[in-house]
Amino acid sequence: MAVFDTSFHQTMPPTSFLYSIPYEYYERHKIRKYGFHGTSHRYVMSRAAELMGRPAENFRLISCHIGNGVSVTAIRYGESYDTSMGLTPLAGVTMGTRSGNLDPAVIPYLEQLEGLESDEVMRVLNHHSGLLGISGVSNDIRDLLKLSKEGHHRSQLAIELFVSKLHQYIGLYMARLNGTDGIIFTAGVGENSPEIRELICQGLEYAGVFLDAYANWLGKEDRIISTAYSPVKVMVIPTDEEIVMARDAYQIVITDQTRSLGILETAG
Ligand code: AMP
């Protein structure tokens, strides 16, 4: 059985998934945004709804999967509405070693100036960019936080850039969703770094985001880390992609068995 990491994003409207290039390329080659981390975004959406006490269909949520790969998803009433990754996982925010968005004209320019083939440029953008490329030392946030406290300028710059891109996507998706009821942090950095969560939420007070410092810094489990009066609930939810895959597989097996026993058909 295969569970596609893109399937959660199939509900995106054309205004989210189309690129502004000739429409024929979409028709001919299906060049469009597909999005990734769908299994993770789907899982944390369900858990967030449980924490907020009502089904996901009631909420607009912004889910931030921040690990070595990073993606942000705007979830509108239980469905993916927009997401930061694209045709490939290279798009969107700054990641551990991936560049995220950049002006596409940078690519031929780099080829020309550095004498690189296009596959070499792709290798640079996928494996030598992001936190690693900017800092020059590591793609691990733990190293960069430590080094920046010791005065390593490029580590500090890498963290600032990383946080700034996530901050921008939250603002973008607040606009796409006409506001948000909740922001979710998940994956390696999102679950484990109160410092990064705090930096991302700084300057979102105007939009109703008020972190509870105590809840942010303490605890390991699924929890709300915004204050009781914060209009936007901020949540930390350890992701669990395996359980989603297991449930999907179970659902398919059960449906298959029911069908082969003729139960579905007799039930009309
Ligand atoms: P993932 O791709 O979800 O496995 O996340 C991996 C990334 O999580 C690593 O590259 C680290 O940067 C980050 N990470 C893991 N543990 C911590 C932690 N305790 N504090 C900050 N970042 C962490």
Residue bearing the CA closest to ligand 1, atom 8: 188
Task: List residues with catalytic annotation.
Answer: 5
Domain ranges in the chain? 7-86+154-267
**pLDDT truncated to tens, each residue of the chain (268 aa)?**
888 999 999 999 999 999 999 999 999 999 999 999 999 999 999 999 999 999 999 999 999 999 999 999 999 999 999 999 999 999 999 999 999 999 999 999 999 999 999 999 999 999 999 999 999 999 999 999 999 999 999 999 999 999 999 999 999 999 999 999 999 999 999 999 999 999 999 999 999 999 999 999 998 889 999 999 999 999 999 999 999 999 988 888 888 777 776 654 444 3
Q: Measured in angstroms, how far is the CA atom of residue 137 from the centroid of ligand 1?
A: 16
> From ligand 1's centre to the CA of 121, what distance in Å?
26
Which residues lie with the beta carbon below 6 Å from any ligand 1 atom? 67-68, 96, 139-142, 187-189, 192-193
SS3 letters for the chain? CCCCCCHHHHHCCHHHHCCCCCHHHHHHHCCCCCCCCHHHHHHHHHHHHHHHCCCHHHCEEEEEEECCCEEEEEEECCEEEEECCCCCCCCCCCCCCCCCCCCCCHHHHHHHHHCCCHHHHHHHHHHCCHHHHHHCCCCCHHHHHHHHHCCCHHHHHHHHHHHHHHHHHHHHHHHHHCCCCEEEEEHHHHHHCHHHHHHHHCCCHHHCECECHHHHHCCCCCEECECCCCCEEEEECCCCHHHHHHHHHHHHHHHHHHHHCCHHHHCC
Quote the ligand 1 centre to 94 CA distance (angstroms).
15
Q: Whose CA is nearest to atom 9 of ligand 1?
A: 140
Q: Which CATH architecture has domain 7-86+154-267?
A: 2-Layer Sandwich (3.30)
Using the atom order of ligand 1, give the atom closest to the CA of residue 65. 3
Single pTM value for the model: 0.94
